[in-house]
Amino acid sequence: MSAFPTSTTVLDSVLFRDAFGTRAMREVFSDLRLIERYAEVEVALAKAEARCGVIPVEAAEQIAERTNVAAFDFDLLRQETDVVGYPILPLVHQMAKQCGEAGRYVHWGATTQDIMDTAVVLQLRDGLGIIEDDIAALRGILVDLSKKYRDTPMAGRTHLQQALPVTFGYKTAIWLAAFDRHAVRLAELKPRALVGQFAGAAGTLASLGDKGFEVQKALCEELGLGVPVSTWHVARDGLAEAVNYLALVTGTLGKIALDIMIMASTEFGEVYEPFVMGRGASSTMPQKRNPISSELMLAAAKAVRQHAGLMLDAMVQDFERATGPWHAEWMAIPESFVLTAGALHQARFALGGLIVDGKRMADNLDVSRGLIVAEAVMMGLAPAIGRQEAHDVVYDACRVANDKGLTLAEALAADDRVASRIDRATIDRLTAPKNYLGLAPEMVDRVLTSVKR
């Protein structure tokens, strides 16, 4: 049976893993990479302690030279982790054995959570780097869409009803502005989240005497991480912020996905995901072209939202070392990063090759026969007949247009209160949806120039 796939989650499934994640992000959070990070922190600790005169320099050199993760007995590591409940003591056993006499100095003055927390922060750094690159690429795609469709009219919709005309570029510029903010958030997040952890058994660095802060600083320098102001064994806001940041990113992707899916529905037909032979095909309906990437983006948004809540719950920890909430992070953090990377990958595909049907957008804009710009007509009539009478006239005209299947222009032209004051050319101009875009195109420009691109 071992020759058959045995994964139980979509994140590692041979069927679904590339739909819900990416190879690069899975690598960051893989078992092997995590164990390598544990060993990397232990080696960096030995080097830091040697620099500070806590352990012999020769011992640190031996620990660095002899530690070989590839030579670990992973089955034994698994068995001992199952017994101990944590992987660091079993890892230290194998490192100490590899390092011979110097092995006595492995893990000197540290506690399990110091090593695990710092390793996770190293994973965060790599994971956030991937997210940052994906967001930068997606912003570039959205810039191009916003420029190209700056003046492409379409129906703006509120409560799923046509409201007022907008442009498709206006819509994509709103998406772009959100990701501009996500880029800023990420830059602000890093100094708070990418901080090392080294504090000892109860977080007081007691085992290192007056060398504690010096070693802590040296360790963080070895790893290129920020130095903590205080022990964060039970202060998990940095990690919780990181996962909640991912929830914001996937939340925006979910909103985009929902828009695309509705706009791609048969009755709308305004946009489509890129065509790839067989993608989105139905097993029974040959005509189907399902918006697969958008569906995956929306699913990821829902899953990461759940993990964001779990991370907030995991912040509620008891005294100086948690009895359970910490373990919840082990599930939430890797899955959130993989799902977010997968959603960004799907967004880059869907938006990078998005098929936009401007004619269908124009046709849909005309579906209401001019009623979508009733507000424009009312404001155009107001100077001639007064605001309140203009409201009543347009209200009556809308009702007549609906009852008799007329255009709003035809209904207005048939009303003496309008025809006696305004010529037909003016009526036609007022009832043309493309003439009532407000500042939508200018808002696109403002988004495009709001940050250095």
Provide DSSP, 313-362: HHT---TTS-SSHHHHHHHHHHHHHHHHHHHHHHHHHHHHT-EE-HHHHH
285 pLDDT exceeds 90?
Answer: no
Element housing 190 (H / E):
helix 168-193
- What is the dihedral sign for C-alpha 357, 255, 147, 168? positive
250 pLDDT exceeds 80?
Answer: yes
pTM: 0.93
What is the model's pLDDT at position 163?
87
**3-state SS assignment for residue 90:** helix
Buried b (16+ CB within 10 A) or exposed e, 256-275: bbebbbbbbeeebebbbbee
447 close to 437: Cβ distance less than 8 angstroms: no
What is the model's pLDDT at position 45?
98
Q: Identify the bridge partners of residue 158 per DSSP, sorted by sequence position.
A: 161
39 close to 64: Cβ distance less than 8 angstroms: no
Percent of the chain at pLDDT exceeding 90: 77
Instruction: Find, among 156, 168, 174, the residue nearest to 271 by Cα.
Output: 168
Instruction: Find, among 304, 359, 292, 291, the residue nearest to 332 by Cα.
Output: 304
Alpha carbon distance 169, 451 (integer Å): 17
What is the model's pLDDT at position 287?
52
**What value does the mean pLDDT take over residues 96-108?**
96
**What value does the mean pLDDT take over residues 359-378?**
90
Region of residue 271 (phi > 0: left; psi between -120 and 50: alpha; otherwise: beta): beta
Residue with tokens 């009478």, as numbered in its chain: 389
What is the model's pLDDT at position 278?
60
Residue with tokens 């205080």, as numbered in its chain: 230
What is the model's pLDDT at position 21?
95
Alpha carbon distance 325, 315 (integer Å): 7
282 pLDDT exceeds 60?
Answer: no
Give the pLDDT band of residue 343 (cuts 50, 70, 90). Answer: very high
What is the model's pLDDT at position 316?
96
67 close to 44: Cβ distance less than 8 angstroms: no
Instruction: Find, among 376, 389, 380, the residue nearest to 416 by Cα.
Output: 389
Residue with tokens 């990418």, as numbered in its chain: 194
Tokens of 336: 């959130």
Q: E-assigned strands of 101-209?
A: 153-158, 161-167
Q: E-assigned strands of 238-396?
A: 271-272, 355-356
- What distance separates the 2 farthest-apart alpha carbons in the chain? 104
Q: Where are the alpha helices (DSSP H) in 194-236?
A: 212-223
Alpha carbon distance 142, 17 (integer Å): 26
Delineate the domains of the chain, giving CATH numbers in brackets: 17-105 (1.10.275.10), 113-146+155-205+222-364 (1.20.200.10), 371-431 (1.10.40.30)
390 pLDDT exceeds 80?
Answer: yes
55 pLDDT exceeds 60?
Answer: yes
Tokens of 69: 């993760």
DSSP 227-271: PPSS--SS--HHHHHHHHHHHHHHHHHHHHHHHHHHHTSTTT--E
The better pLDDT of the pair 382, 237 is held by 237
312 pLDDT exceeds 90?
Answer: yes
Give the pLDDT band of residue 3 (cuts 50, 70, 90). Answer: low
Average pLDDT, the chain: 93
Task: Find all residues with CB under 8 Å of 376, minimum gap 6, and list them.
Answer: 430, 431, 435, 436
Residue 61 CA, distance from chain mean position:
41
What is the model's pLDDT at position 32?
95
What is the model's pLDDT at position 384?
81
286 pLDDT exceeds 50?
Answer: no
Residues carrying an active site annotation: 159, 282
Alpha carbon distance 198, 112 (integer Å): 10
DSSP 34-102: HHHHHHHHHHHHHHHHHHTTSS-HHHHHHHHHH--GGGS-HHHHHHHHHHHSSSHHHHHHHHHHHHGGG
Which phi and psi angles does 260 have, rounded to 5°? -65, -45
78 pLDDT exceeds 50?
Answer: yes
Alpha carbon distance 313, 301 (integer Å): 19
Write the pLDDT tens digit of every residue in 110-145: 999 999 999 999 999 999 999 999 999 999 999 999
Alpha carbon distance 312, 301 (integer Å): 17
- For the ranges 51-60, 66-75, 164-173, 277-286, the lowest mean pLDDT is seen at 277-286
Give the pLDDT band of residue 156 (cuts 50, 70, 90). Answer: very high
Instruction: Find, among 62, 64, 47, the residue nearest to 215 by Cα.
Output: 47
Give the pLDDT band of residue 277 (cuts 50, 70, 90). Answer: low
Instruction: Find, among 262, 284, 287, 283, the residue nearest to 273 by Cα.
Output: 262
Instruction: Find, among 43, 46, 44, the residue nearest to 56 by Cα.
Output: 46
Percent of the chain at pLDDT exceeding 70: 97
92 pLDDT exceeds 50?
Answer: yes
